[in-house]
């Protein structure tokens, strides 16, 4: 184990050699204190974030966390991208509320350069496209007014044909001229969504909250604006957001149906996967709401 760790540090050091990072030498010497000192002093370069990732113990240090937090709002695209990359490589950083919030803001940013920087992370490591935050960003980027961003999104999708089966991506593609049908899987009905699903998302539970109340600023299942301020085209926005959390091949496995059947995670911890839901139980599998949602998902598929 120790051996593996040393190898990976060595590899980090070598791979960043070309970046001319001042920390490279220190990563080579494997002195975490020195790595930390240099990371915190002055302007750390983008490569330095990767070096820090090789020393997970440093991520528990408050000054390191603050530096990551600040860098997530950096105006320098390289630093911004490196900070987002570090958070993705070390998901533990998201257990700190301030970092979690800023990462969420980064993913929701309307700035084309930030969206581009994040998508570049997926281009460098395509495995990241399994993360629904990337899928959300990717599907939105397809319709971005900045042609370079839309182009980058399209290139990423072309490099991973299986992405076309995801309803959110498929919906984005069908709107692009010349792309043709994205997949064999039909999208679920917008009409059914408007008439029967939307009212469920607005229904308050025992805690006096509806899906809308909690989901306005989510990266993935984002329900914005509030229904009372919504125009007719906003319904399509809610619909597109819902497409990110459904599974057309296995409708019952859709996150949108499953999450609300799950308990809250223990205090101080984050809900993970489909096993827990930050908003707690909203309905059970026998409920009319669950069945209506299932019926809606089944209006799509093959």
Selection from 115, 98, 133, 125 nearest residue 218 by Cα? 133
Longest dimension (CA), the chain: 63
Nearer to ligand HEC, 57 or 286 (CB): 286
Residue entry with tokens 């030498």: 25
Inter-residue contact 249 to 185 (CB < 8 Å) = yes
Return the residues of window 43-102 that contact ligand HEC according to CB under 6 A: none
Nearer to ligand HEC, 21 or 241 (CB): 241
| 108 belongs to the binding site for ligand HEC (CB under 6 A) | no
Nearer to ligand HEC, 121 or 271 (CB): 271
Contact residue for ligand HEC among 50, 108, 114, 218 (CB under 6 A): 218
Residue 186 forms beta bridges with which residues?
Answer: 301
Return the residues of window 166-185 that contact ligand HEC according to CB under 6 A: none
Please report, for residues 39, 119, 122, 163, 238, the alpha-carbon distance to residue 131 in angstroms, rounded to integers and kept in the order given.
28, 12, 10, 12, 20
Nearer to ligand HEC, 40 or 255 (CB): 255
Nearer to ligand HEC, 184 or 207 (CB): 207
The Cα 277–Cα 255 span in angstroms is: 10
Inter-residue contact 282 to 256 (CB < 8 Å) = no
| 255 belongs to the binding site for ligand HEC (CB under 6 A) | yes
| 279 belongs to the binding site for ligand HEC (CB under 6 A) | yes
- Mapped onto helix, strand or coil, the DSSP state of residue 71 is helix
Residue entry with tokens 């009905």: 189
Nearer to ligand HEC, 19 or 214 (CB): 214
> Judged by CB under 6 A, how many residues of this single chain contact ligand HEC?
20
Selection from 209, 200, 222 nearest residue 279 by Cα? 209
Tell the smallest beta-carbon distance from residue 114 to ligand HEC (Å). Answer: 19
| 220 belongs to the binding site for ligand HEC (CB under 6 A) | yes
| 245 belongs to the binding site for ligand HEC (CB under 6 A) | yes
Residues near ligand HEC (CB under 6 A) are 201, 209, 211, 213-215, 218, 220-221, 245, 255-256, 259-260, 271, 276-279, 282
């Amino acid at each position: 184990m120790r051996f593996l760790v040393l190898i990976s540090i060595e590899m980090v050091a070598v791979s960043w050699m070309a970046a001319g990072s001042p920390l490279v030498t220190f990563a080579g010497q494997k002195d975490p204190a020195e790595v930390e000192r240099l990371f915190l002093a002055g302007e750390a370069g983008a490569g330095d974030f990767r070096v820090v990732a090789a020393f997970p113990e440093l991520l528990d240090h408050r000054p390191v966390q603050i530096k990551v937090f600040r860098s997530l709002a950096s105006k320098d695209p390289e630093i911004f991208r490196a900070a987002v990359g570090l958070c993705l490589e070390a998901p533990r950083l998201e257990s700190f509320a301030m970092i979690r919030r800023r990462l969420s803001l980064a993913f929701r940013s309307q700035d084309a350069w930030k969206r581009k920087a994040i998508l570049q992370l997926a281009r460098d490591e395509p495995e990241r496209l399994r993360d629904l935050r990337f899928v959300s960003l990717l599907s939105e980027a397809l319709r971005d007014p900045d042609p370079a961003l839309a182009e980058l999104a399209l290139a990423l999708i072309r490099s991973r044909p299986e992405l076309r089966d995801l309803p959110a991506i498929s919906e984005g593609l069908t709107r692009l001229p010349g792309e043709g049908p994205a997949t064999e899987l039909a999208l679920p009905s917008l009409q059914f969504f408007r008439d029967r699903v939307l009212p469920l998302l607005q229904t308050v539970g025992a805690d006096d909250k509806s899906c809308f109340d909690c989901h306005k600023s989510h990266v993935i299942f984002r329900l914005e604006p509030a229904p009372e301020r919504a125009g007719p085209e906003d319904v399509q926005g809610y619909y597109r957001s819902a497409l990110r959390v459904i599974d057309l091949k296995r409708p019952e496995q859709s996150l949108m149906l499953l999450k609300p059947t799950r308990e809250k995670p223990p205090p101080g911890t984050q809900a993970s996967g489909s096993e827990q839901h930050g908003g707690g139980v909203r309905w059970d599998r026998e409920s009319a709401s669950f069945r209506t949602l299932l019926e809606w998902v089944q209006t799509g598929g093959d």
